Amino acid sequence: MDRATVILFARAPRLGTVKSRLARGIGARAALRFHCATFAATARPIARDRRWRTVLATTPRGARADWARFVPRGTKRIHQPHGDLGARMAGCMRPWSRAVLAGSDIPDLRPADIAAAIRALGRADAVFGPATDGGYWLVGLGPRRPARPFAGVRWSSEHALSDTMANFRGRRVALLRCLQDVDTAEDLAQMRVRS
């Protein structure tokens, strides 16, 4: 079986352009520091793992960044297509029959989570990593997927996972462990309490 492709979504690290909801609570500089630290801590070990092919999907188009601070040199990089989050995710996943996509800002994301997602795709058509806020931190799709897997999703809401899973009715879906993503100052405070 062909190696799975792991796509890491990444926003160029620029002051005032990353983690905007978090920045409202802790300030733009602190949000940028959080973004860079989390991106490096999660992306580098995932991109170094040879069990899968890693692709860095970056935005905004044309942004200059020292991506080698975050992933090994030579990591394939593509631009995220235009559109809402669902259109960007679908566009990035479309070329590969088995693809796992994750955000680069999930503090507890580890290579073991990626491996678990790929294993799940051996028996399921899709896999999701649910987030505590009703969204998800990872999605994996096998070759048997809906034409529009992310249609009608209310992004950045507690309905994101349930809306997406509605598009997979009649297909086998696996769920991974539940993780907390950090979108707000309250999320960050909860994460620090857990640590």
Q: What range does the domain containing 138 cover? A: 5-194
The confidence score (pLDDT) of residue 67 equals 92
What is the mean pLDDT, run by run of 10 residues, along the chain of 195 residues?
89 94 95 95 96 96 88 94 96 96 91 98 97 95 95 96 97 96 89 78
**CA angle, 170 then 103 then 58, to 5°:** 115
Task: Give the total number of structural domains in the chain.
Answer: 1
The confidence score (pLDDT) of residue 105 equals 80
Q: Edge-to-edge strands of the sheet including 136-141?
A: 76-79, 53-59, 5-11, 99-103, 136-141, 126-130, 173-175
CATH code, domain with 145: 3.90.550.10
Residue environment code for 28-37, b if the CB has 16+ CB neighbours within 10 A, otherwise e: beebbebbee
